[in-house]
Amino acid sequence: MTTLKIDDYIFEPYIDRLKISERTQVLANEMAQAEFDKKPVFLVIMTGAYVFAADLLRLLDFTCEVRFIRVKSYAGMQSTGHFQIESDRLENLEDRNIIILEDIVDTGRTITKIKEVLATKNPKTIQICSLLSKPSAHLSPIDIQYLGFEIPDEFVIGYGLDYNDQGRNLPDIWKVKP
């Protein structure tokens, strides 16, 4: 089987680009039905969600606003639990329908923190759209309205996701070999 070596880790193919694009289209269709009249604000969490966001947002056939926010929480393969939201892009969210676009929900700390911060801006609704989720790693129940794939608690790269800033450009998703 093809493998990929990044630093000390070997990765193997996991979710291919065709599966990702089929699933992304399904999510776009679901959104078109649910969000069509709502002019949502998409908050894209940088950096990992940039590829997913670019593909998903171009499939939407309704008016929306797109903003980018940066949250840093990972060092290597460990979620650090320390967060920085580096953005002045959280203004004028009162009464808006917000959809957070994430690459992956792991422990759920990041998304929970972002939701807490957003709630102080008095939006009408806050929803989550994530390409991937690791339910067995969630620290508390997390409602994900639009989810690409549930995966086991394994480290993945590609399609925007990185290991030490490498692998984001891979068109498919790869998982670390035990």
Amino acid in position 82: H
Q: Does the bond joining 80 to the residue before it have cis omega, within 30 degrees of 0?
A: no
Q: Which of 7, 88, 106, 165 is catalytic?
A: 106
Which structure tokens are listed for 58? 């171009």
- Compute the least distance from the CB of residue 122 to ligand IMP, in Å: 24
Q: Could you tell me which of 159, 171, 162, 178 has the C-alpha nearest to residue 6?
A: 162
The one among 21, 24, 107, 145 contacting ligand IMP by CB under 6 A: 107
Q: Does 24 bind ligand IMP (CB under 6 A)?
A: no
Q: How far is CA 154 from CA 9, 73, 114, in A?
A: 13, 17, 23
- Compute the least distance from the CB of residue 132 to ligand IMP, in Å: 8
User: Is 7 a residue of the active site?
Assistant: no
Q: Does 108 bind ligand IMP (CB under 6 A)?
A: yes
Q: Does 79 bind ligand IMP (CB under 6 A)?
A: yes
**Residue 3 near residue 11, CB atoms below 8 Å:** yes
Q: Does 156 bind ligand IMP (CB under 6 A)?
A: yes
The one among 73, 118, 131, 144 contacting ligand IMP by CB under 6 A: 73
The one among 103, 128, 146, 148 contacting ligand IMP by CB under 6 A: 103
Stretch that binds ligand IMP, among 18-26, 62-70, 103-111, 117-125 (CB under 6 A): 103-111
Q: How far is CA 177 from CA 12, 121, 156, 157, 162, in A?
A: 6, 42, 10, 12, 15
**Parallel, antiparallel, or unpaired: how do β-strands 146-150 and 125-133 relate?**
parallel
The one among 98, 110, 123, 144 contacting ligand IMP by CB under 6 A: 110
Q: Could you tell me which of 176, 157, 153, 161 has the C-alpha nearest to residue 10?
A: 176
Point out the residues that are catalytic: 106
Instruction: Summarize as ranges the residues that interact with ligand IMP (CB under 6 A).
Output: 45, 48, 73-74, 79, 102-110, 155-157, 161
